[in-house]
Structure 1
Amino acid sequence: MRDITFRGVGESPEPGGEAEALLDACARVTAWGPGARQMLGYTAREILGHRADELLHDSADAADMLQRWDEGVRRRSLVLRRRSGEPLEAEVWVRSLTSVNGERQWLVQAVGAEVFRTYEFGRALLKGLFTDSPFHIDLFDRDLRFVGQNVTERRAGVFRGTKYSGHTMREMAPPGLLDIDALEARQRRVLETGEALIGTEVVGHPLPSSPSEYVWSESILPLRNTSGTVIALAHVVSDVTQRVRSRERLVLANEAATRIGTTLDLWRTARELAEVAVPHFADICYVDLLDSVFPGGEPTGGRRQRPPLLRRAAYSGAAEDLGPGGAGTMVGDYDARATAPGSPFLDTLAKGESILLADEQLRTCPAVVLPRRSPDGGPEVHSWLLVPMLARDVALGTAVFMRSRSPRRFEPDDVLLAEQIVTRAAVCVDNASRYHRERTTARTLRRSLLPQRLPSPSAARTASRYLPASEHAGLGGDWFDVIPLSGARVALVVGDVVGHDLQSAVTMGRLRSAVRTLADLDLSPDELLIHLDDQMNRFLDERGDEGSLVTGATCLYAVYDPVSRHCHLARAGHPPPAVVSADGGVDFVDLPGGPPLGLGGVVFEEREITLGDGDLLVLYTDGLLESREQDLDTGLRRMRDTLFRTPASATPQEVCDTLIRELLLPGRHDDVAVLVARMSGLAPDRHVTWEIEAQDKMVGQARDLTAQQMALWGLEEESITTELIVSELVTNAIRHGGEPITLRLIWDHNLICEVSDGSSTSPHVRRAQDTDEGGRGLYLISQLTQNWGTRYSERGKTIWAEQPLPS
């Protein structure tokens, strides 16, 4: 291969396009070339024998000029005169000659200034490419053999000192440098199509002993002769390793931003980190989290935790058992060896800094901490990176990245990328951990505020459903309750506090407790709502300026008596309940709405309806029917249709599920509570009522009636206790109450004894002194019964007592 050289600017011009003429010693034209005729327009006949002075635009002595050129000035910029008289800027070269006769002659060559500048630019381009260019340039002939290389390529380590001319790349390239088959396929493609291949990225190793991968940008250009035939190929190659690595890191960082933290699931977040890292960043990755991060624990300053317990949260890679814990450390297991003596985990948890180990550092690390080779016979780990997971200056765990199959070692930029990805994952893990703790707290609070298991009174079979507006918060202001009352009665309650945050949930809990307390007083529904309204006002007053956070609440309260089958209802701004009769009819109770709780100074109205055996009473909150796209009236119509289509044999739980499934709107923004009760009256043979005259002799008669009824029910063993209770209650009514006096026995889960009289005087339990002749009746009743109390009506009061019966 000939070295490509360049002639200096003082020498003759590049061939082609120049004008040539021959002058004698007196500067007369003795020969005139075609190029000169084309440049200046003179024919040979017109110019031969004339002095060269006539060809100059400015007056000058051509002979004197030739003499000075002979002294060493070989090139000069002149203004020539064309035949038309127009000036022409040109670069002129003069070379001294001697004819065969020994006469002095001058060969004059001229090139137009524009053409000359083009020549100079071309020479500068060639010199830049083949001498000064940082690119590696190779020339190949059509047989794919080397023709030439630029200076940069000849100085490269791969071809330094080798004779490459006439050889192919397959013959010259060291083993493993690049994919020779793919290279030759690209070369033949350019030869066949004549189209250049630009910017092909080629991966290889510059030296066989180097473990590092390099990436080159390769462009293959076809070189054509004057007829347009491709006669050679030019390869232009540049090292773009850092650019590609930066692009890969940017892509990986972007992928981590989109794939890590898609949910608030702790395990899935850790798994997403491991899956993002493998295989584009590492061959093996696993994530260990401190035990305190998982539900049930509170992350503490991991730098002070002793001893730290790490649990394997995620793994991704080819060798299942490869990791600090060695064989047996699987996802979910404690990674005990991670904190063994000599383990770098303790150091990174203490300092919060990443640790990078490679080659000899890995070989000197104890195998119990970092095993050299996977059990499946995979390649040896040659690069190991440990990154701490920190969030809010709290240690959450560690992430380990290993390279074994990939020959590339981790670089400082890789450490920065890993820290960036792990930091994002740490924030997501912290959010997931905090979410689980908050959700657990919310669920615990919700369980404490709502009944987890409804009572089972014989008067009603009930079922309920509750859905918070936000599953994340798990809190809301809706509530429901089933409250057993005296006389086998049952109270059904549904309420809704405005909002669905913690404050609403707390207010709801206080209202539910207030309802239970007021229900124990056996108040009528309208009277209970009045007291509940007062209680709501107290809650708002206690909040002060913050009271606007909870602006009010609605409530529906119903009391069902299985003996009379009457149901008394009242509501405070709440949607009306639905009644589904046993024959399939559906209707909404015509019940005055009343204002919401918290307005103060209002009176609520009560209604009484009769419910037969098997009738359904459906109570709910407005979140089931109302939304931004649907008003309450539309929701009520849909609910009526849904209940009408529901089979009469459906259980209360099935009715609840059907309502939720059919009526719940997508994108709801409110809590939902549903309470369904199937009513069941008490059979006539399970209760009896007698009127008692206000005479002392009637106490004995009342005992006799009680004994007879107990025998009729087959409860002779409990008869003595029941007779004693009846005796005390009837005696109390005769002496301290007023007519009319009635005695009622109810056989339900327990035996209920009720004595009613026309007086509103409230009895009190007291401990009688030894010298007192009376005062022991109610105290005795409290000892003999499971529960007792007093309820009031418009015509007086009723003292009742529940006596437990054998199961």
Structure 2
Amino acid sequence: MNAYANNAATVDSGGTGRAHTFGGVAAAVLDHQGAVVRWSRAAQDLTGVTAEQVCGHPVLELVADLPDDLRNAPQMPASGRARLRHQCGNLIDVTFRTIEVESSAEFLLLAVPTHHVADHEQHEQGAALLRALSAQNRITIALHDTNLATVQTNAMPGTFDGHPVQPGTRLCDVLCAEDAQNLEAVLRQVLETGAPVVRTNQHVRWRNQPAQQHALSVSAFPLEDERGRPTGVAALYIDSTDAQRARRNLDLAREVAEQVGRSLDVVRTAQDLADVLAPAFGDLTAVVLAQSVPDGDEPPKQLGGGDLRLCTAALAPTTAAWPAGSKRGAPVPPLADHPLLRSSQHGKTVVYGRDDFIALMGGPQPAESVLPNDAHAVMVAPLYARGLTLGNIVVWRTGQSDPFTEDETDLMTQIASRAALAIDNARRYTREHKAAVALQQRLLPPATTDTPAAETAGVYLPAGGGADISGDWYDAIALPSLRLALVAGDVVGHGMPASATMGRLRAAIQTLADLELEPDELLTRIADLVQRLAAEAPPSDHDTIGATCLYAVYDPVTQRCAMASAGHPPPVLVRPDGTAETIQISPGPPLSVSGMPYETTTIDLEPGSILALYTDGLVEPGDRDIDQGLRRLTDALAASCRPDRALDETGRALLTGLVEEAPRDDATLLLARTRAIPAKDTAHWEIPADPAAVSKAREWTTHQLTRWGLDDLHFATELIVSELVTNAIRYGRPPSHLRLIHHNVLVCEVTDSSSSQPRLQRARTTDEGGRGLFIIAQLAARWGCRHGQNDKTIWSEQLID
């Protein structure tokens, strides 16, 4: 073999042994001893050795670096790799295989360069990859020439628009014109710049199905010839419509979970739902509720058609051109008894075509008022929660939008189920809140009162701008002798328990006020009551039972006001000249602390003065310091309290200006503009400790009633005065006094220095006395007794016609 090796031609100038001109499989026939019998042209091209040179010689003489196991082997191995000497001296790495020839002792030897084997394997893998890609019905491979015409594609009928794509087809033959232009712009950019495009998203419509939109993920790269010149574009089109729809559905469900239910207002919740669904799910969305639901009441249970008492609670987008009958708050017209309506009433989400919806509305004319002009489909999902059908979600698709799919129907069913719970939670809260507010309003006194002592106006603002309530209250209690009690209080906590506690405290204060106790004594007794309430409460609520209170009593005759505070902010006084100041009082402990004394403070009030009582929600909004809030209130009262302005108007304006939009605590304000009983309408005498003074007292009374023009009250008043004065002389201690007050009633008062309590009793026929108070009770509209620190006063009131 070495004898002819030097005469071989050079195959590869690089010394790799790779013959550029070799293009087949080298074949040789060997005898049983491994000598060459026949030699193919391809074998000559591979080694550069001719058949004449090699035939008769062992083929192993061509092998370089022959291993010992191969040299001593009895026969050629079935396959393997070897390095052959080329005629030019280079080495050729080949892969060979031997095949026994049937009915002969000869062997067929086949060999190819090893790198050809690797190239072939890669080619096979690439071909397998192309076959796999071509078989994917979601992936379309298309080769476009420089004019962007289709040269080759794996697109099958149904891949795009149901028609096969022939060579020469352009995108505008398959897609709508605008979509084809947009996609060709992407491919032309790749062709011109040579820069590939990876997974750019395009929304397209087929020419024969313009109503249905598809999402394509497009990847494209340029094609070049062996000289690097562009020959076209290879593009991969992946239909991602289902993936995008699934992702959109997940996003929509998450958005509903995040946005719907944040408010406890029914209409606000319905509007949040409509805003999420339009335009993400449909072009137009309406939320229709039973008319009773926004008010917190249960919807009527009614099946079939007719007037279902529904109203439009929310619309989205609000800027859309809605039909006249679909305005927010408008009632839904009567509906026909349609089979799809029955399905919806049984909890199923249904889709109406335009014709079905017209039939549901009872014909084209009734449907015109609620049917959008270009609507082609409407989905209706019932809002069903806790056994109640609260209303429906109505989603319209208009114009060229896609029809509803089964997956979207299932998604809307899930959304409606979640939204129904949010709306029902808001409905139930509205119902409970209305009940609590109604209770609070029933427990509060009238907003305004008009008494001889003062005119009053009270204003109450619940926490949260009306969303929450608690135990703040005010009161104006008319007392005997034309006096007036003013109360402001604040119970610890919020909600129904606080309102209930407030009602009990207010009732107790009204009862004790009728006993005409001094302010400090009244607060002491109320503190004892709060302690009993705390003892009755569960152990976990002991620390939440408590209140603060300010109690004041104004006497229009003396023009003096006595007040005491149980941990409550001090009142503010606005004098007739417009100056305002905080009354300095000594506050005692809150009512939750018993056993501590309270102190009464007495001040003089000019007629026309305004006394303001309030709760801390008015002076502690936000993070403001109470002293700063009190200064703001004082300044606002000085600026707002004018003689020509109604008190209720002044109170509302003050509350609006001083309290933030959604306060964290209740706020109350009670304004009282004081009056005075003129001196000419009162008469006062000191009673001597002599039984003869009784007749003198009747004489004084008669003359005074004549001056006042009350002659028709002479007889009854003389009897009342006789009995009161007699009792004071007989059972009381001097000094004693008689006072008459003339206003809308006639008040008779007898005061003595005894602390004994008179009692009404029924005298027997044989008793000589004990009928005095019984006679007074028959002649007067009402009577009573009040105790001072060192005296008591028995009084009576007679109506004046």
Shared fold (TM-score, shorter chain, > 0.5):
yes
How do residues 119-268 of structure 1 correspond to structure 2 at under 5 angstroms?
119-129=123-133, 135-149=139-153, 151-153=154-156, 156=159, 158=161, 163-165=166-168, 167-170=169-172, 172-173=173-174, 176=176, 179-206=179-206, 208=208, 212-268=212-268
Q: For the Cα contact (< 8 Å) 1:273–1:422, is it kept in 2? A: no
Q: 3-state DSSP class of the match of 2:537?
A: helix
Instruction: Tell me how far 1:788 sits from its aligned partner.
Output: 2.2
CA gap of 1:303–1:763, structure 2 versus 1, over 3 A, is: farther
366 and 567 in structure 1: CA distance in 2 versus 1, 3 angstrom threshold: closer
**RMSD, aligned α-carbons:** 4.7
The question of 1:571 aligning with 2:551 is answered no
Give 1:382 deviation, angstroms: 5.4
Instruction: Tell me the residue number matched to 1:420.
Output: 414
Q: Distance in 1 between matches of 2:234 and 2:84?
A: 40
From the superposition, tell whether residues 357 and 299 of structure 1 become closer, same or farther in structure 2 (CA, over 3 Å).
Answer: closer
Q: Distance in 1 between matches of 2:238 and 2:688?
A: 117
Deviations 1:455-498 (A, max 9, x none): 22333343333333445653212222121212222212222222
Amino acid at match of 2:260: I
Contact persistence 2:464–2:662 (CA under 8 A): no
Summarize deviations over 1:313-338 as a string: whole Å, max 9, x none. Answer: 345587845xxxxx957654554634
Residues 375/482 of structure 1: CA separation in 2 closer, same or farther (3 Å cut): closer
2:539 is aligned with 1:545 = yes
Pairwise mapping of residues 461-610 of structure 1 onto structure 2 (< 5 A)?
A: 461-471=455-465, 474-582=468-576, 587-610=581-604
Q: C-alpha separation between the residues in 2 aligned to 1:430 and 1:233?
A: 58
Q: Specify whether residues 88 and 729 from structure 1 end up closer, same or farther in structure 2 by C-alpha distance, changes over 3 A only.
A: farther
The DSSP-based 3-state class of the residue aligned with 1:245 is helix
> CA, structure 1 residues 487+472, in 2 after alignment: closer, same or farther (shift >3 Å)?
closer
Structure 2 counterpart of 1:348, from 340, 344, 350: 344
Query: Which deviates more, 379-388 or 745-754?
Result: 379-388
Q: CA separation in 2, counterparts of 1:573 and 1:363?
A: 66
SS at match of 2:493: coil
Aligned mates of 1:259, 1:450 — CA distance in 2: 37
Q: Give the distance between the partners of 1:236 and 1:475, measured in 2 at CA.
A: 64
Does the C-alpha gap of structure 1 residues 316 and 660 become closer, same or farther in structure 2, counting only changes over 3 Å? closer
- Say yes or no: does 1:439 pair with 2:433: yes
SS in 1 for 2:438: helix
Structure 2 counterpart of 1:272? 272
Task: Provide, for residues 404-454 of structure 1, a one-character-per-residue CA deviation record: whole Å limited to 9, x for no partner.
Answer: 534533222112210122122212211221121111111111112222324
* Contact 1:613-1:679 at 8 Å conserved across structures: yes
1:566 counterpart letter in structure 2: R
Structure 1 counterpart SS, 2:612: strand
Cα 1:585–1:280 change in 2 (3 A) is: closer
CA distance in 1, matches of 2:338, 2:653: 61
Task: Give, in whole Å, the separation in 1 of the partners of 2:359 and 2:371.
Answer: 20
Q: Distance in 1 between matches of 2:370 and 2:640?
A: 61
- Matches of 2:347 and 2:184 in 1, distance apart? 51
After TM superposition, list the pairs within 5 Å mapping 1:731-770 onto structure 2: 731-766=726-761
Q: 1:173 is matched by which residue type in structure 2?
A: V
Is the CA contact (8 Å cut-off) linking 1:703 and 1:723 kept in structure 2? yes
The question of whether the paired residues in 2 share the 8 Å contact of 1:688 and 1:745 is answered with: yes
Contact map agreement 2:65 2:83 (CA 8 A) in 1: yes
Q: Provide closer, same or farther for how the CA distance between residues 224 and 477 of structure 1 changes in structure 2, counting only shifts above 3 A.
A: same
State the one-letter code of the partner of 1:398.
N
Say if 1:233 and 1:375 are closer, same or farther in 2 by CA, change over 3 A: farther
Per the alignment, do residues 216 and 386 of structure 1 end up closer, same or farther by CA in structure 2, a change over 3 Å counting? same
Q: Which residue of 2 aligns with 1:796?
A: 791
Q: Decide whether the 8 Å contact of 2:287 with 2:315 is kept in 1.
A: yes
Match of 1:32 among 7, 10, 34: 10
Q: Is the 8 A contact 2:143 2:234 kept in 1?
A: yes
* Unmatched 5+ stretches in structure 2: 21-44, 99-109
Q: Tell me, yes or no, if the aligned pair for 1:303 and 1:395 is still in contact at 8 Å.
A: no
**Which residue pairs with 2:385 in the alignment?**
391
Change in CA separation of 1:132 and 1:372 when aligned onto 2, cut-off 3 Å: farther
1:59 to 55, 63, 66: 66
2:6/2:89 contact within 8 Å kept? no
1:12 is aligned to none
1:698-751 Cα offsets, whole Å, 9 max, x none, are: 444434433433343444555555455444444444455443332212233433
SS at match of 2:481: helix
Quick one: distance in 2 between partners of 1:510 and 1:451?
A: 14
Higher mean C-alpha displacement, 706-715 vs 515-524: 706-715
Deviates more, 1:716-725 or 1:239-248: 716-725
Name the amino acid aligned to 2:167: Y
1:146–1:589 CA distance, 2 compared to 1 (3 A): closer
What does residue range 285-364 of structure 1 map to in structure 2 within 5 Å?
Answer: 285-295=285-295, 297-298=297-298, 309-315=309-315, 320=322, 331-335=328-332, 337-338=334-335, 340-349=336-345, 351-356=346-351, 362=356
Residue 288 of structure 1: how far off its partner (Å):
3.1
Q: How far apart, in 2, do the equivalents of 1:571 and 1:774 lie?
A: 44
- How far off is 1:604 after superposition? 2.4
Cα deviations by residue, 1:211-268 (Å, 9 ceiling, x for unpaired): 6443322233222334544331222112212112112212322333344334333223
Aligned mates of 1:377, 1:393 — CA distance in 2: 30
Q: Describe the shift of the 1:410–1:377 C-alpha distance in structure 2 as closer, same or farther (beyond 3 A).
A: closer
Query: SS of the residue aligned with 1:420?
Result: helix
Structure 1 residues 754 and 131, CA, compared in 2 at 3 Å: closer, same or farther?
closer
- Inter-CA distance 183–477: structure 2 relative to 1 (3 Å threshold): same
**Post-superposition CA distance 1:517-567 (Å, at most 9, x none):** 000001111211222122222222222535515342222222222222222
- In structure 2, how many angstroms separate the alpha carbons of the residues matched to 1:160 and 1:429? 49
Structure 1 distance, partners of 2:127, 2:404, is: 44
8 Å CA contact retained: 2:95, 2:112: no
Contact 2:533 2:545 in 1 (8 A): no
Worse-superposed segment, 640-649 or 578-587 = 640-649
Percent of aligned pairs with the same amino acid: 36
**1:11 aligned residue:** none
The AA in structure 1 aligned to 2:151 is V
> What letter is aligned with 2:599?
E
Paired residue type of 1:540: A
Amino acid at match of 1:592: S
In structure 2, the partner of 1:10 is none
Q: CA deviation at 1:656?
A: 5.0
Paired with 1:765 and 1:157, the residues of 2 have a C-alpha distance of: 104
CA distance in 2, matches of 1:434, 1:333: 23
